[in-house]
Amino acid sequence: MVNVNYEIKMGKLSGKVAVITASTDGIGFAIAKKMASEGAKIVVSSRKEANVESAVDNLKKQGYKDIIGTVCHVAKQADRENLLKKAAEAFGRIDILVSNAAVNPVFGLTEDVSGEAFDKIFDINVKAPFMLTKEVLPYLRKNDGGSIVYVSSVAGIQPFSFLGCYSVSKTALLSLTKVFASELATSNIRVNCVAPGLIKTNFSKPLYESEAAYEIALSQIPLNRLGQPDDVSGIVAFLCSKEADYITGETIVVGGGIPSRL
């Protein structure tokens, strides 16, 4: 029988330290698990301590030893700085940042979105990834490079009905990817993005929980199924690995063939 820990040690991310926001459930948790399976040391985070403890316990029970977690509300500077500090203190370095946290507090016509809701969407979905990138740079540069991945959405390429402001915020990440990829290339820091389609998570439940919504969703997906978090996690792990060393500034759509670009 092959030893699980041996498999983990020999993975494509062996020796790397990955910090992943909103990683106690859904896509974020799948990314954490996949990266751990590829040998990375993982720092999970979430706004709720109970969720962090549960995710860490879950991963450790599956045989992944180098796992820690901490509470992090990405809109709070002190939380972001503490997240990075704890990662560096625990593992001695940071090599990878995956910015996954996102919110969508409203569903309806864009003209009806309040200024308060707009600010919340952009604080979490755009400003927080921007600030986290700035804050993680000293750690990455200390190691002569690293990798950053933003989790956007296919809605950022083809806006979803009744999710106007959310879609616009995800479009901003596509541009942020290209801007930082260009500016950070000389520091050997690669910046890429994934744009999931309709992935079956608690976050996206309003888009598929009713039978009518589910049928409408399937009608737009050529592969005729909803995506699973594991459909996204492997792409993120790849983008952070040596195999993707010549890829930066790119957005990879993981949408089952859903129309997203020319």
SS3 of residue 22 by DSSP: coil
Q: Where are the alpha helices (DSSP H) in 100-247?
A: 115-122, 128-142, 164-184, 211-219, 229-239
Smallest CA-to-CA distance from 43 within 13, 10, 66, 11 is with: 66
Annotated active-site residue 139? The verdict is no
Residue with token string 């500077």: 77
d(C-alpha 148, C-alpha 136), whole Å? 9
The CA-atom distances, in angstroms, between 28 and each of 1, 45, 57, 114 are: 30, 9, 16, 28
Under 8 Å CB-to-CB from 84, ≥6 apart: which residues? 19, 94, 135, 136, 139
Element (H, E) at 37: helix 26-37
**Tokens coding 48:** 């709720």
Residue pair 189/140 in contact (Cβ under 8 Å)? The answer is yes
Catalytic residue among 166, 208, 214, 246: 166
Residues annotated as part of the active site: 166
